[in-house]
Copies of this chain bind each other. A is one copy, B any other.
Amino acid sequence: MQIARVCGTVVGTHKLPSLTGVKFLLLQLVDLDGRVLPEYEVAADPVGAGIGEWVLVARGSAARQDDRSDRRPLDALVVAIIDTVSGENGRIYSKSDSY
């Protein structure tokens, strides 16, 4: 999985029927120094993440292992809201610090 920061939303009303009701978040990937990268993913979000939160995003067929995402044409899924990222030299990110 990759670490990403929720930075927006994507809306499209004309879509495949199986995507009805799916909310799409715009995620910027984050590097190991906590900086956002130009790389992004548009991911379905079954966990309810908000703008500015850090999340774990699973890509590929992993995005369809949730009951609600099975058989939907998804290749990216928010699987967790991140509380902490810890490296060898201490915290890289702590959700509580960001408020």
Contact = CB atoms under 8 A, between A and B. Distances in A.
B88 A7 contact: yes
Interface string A10-46: 1111111011000010101001100000101111001
Interface of A: 1-3, 7-16, 18-19, 24, 26, 28, 31-32, 38, 40-43, 46-48, 51-52, 55-56, 58-66, 71-77, 79-88, 92
Number of copies: 5
A82 to B, nearest CB: 5
Given A56-B24, A60-B60, A82-B12, A38 B31 contact: yes
Nearest to A93: B10
A25 to B, nearest CB: 11
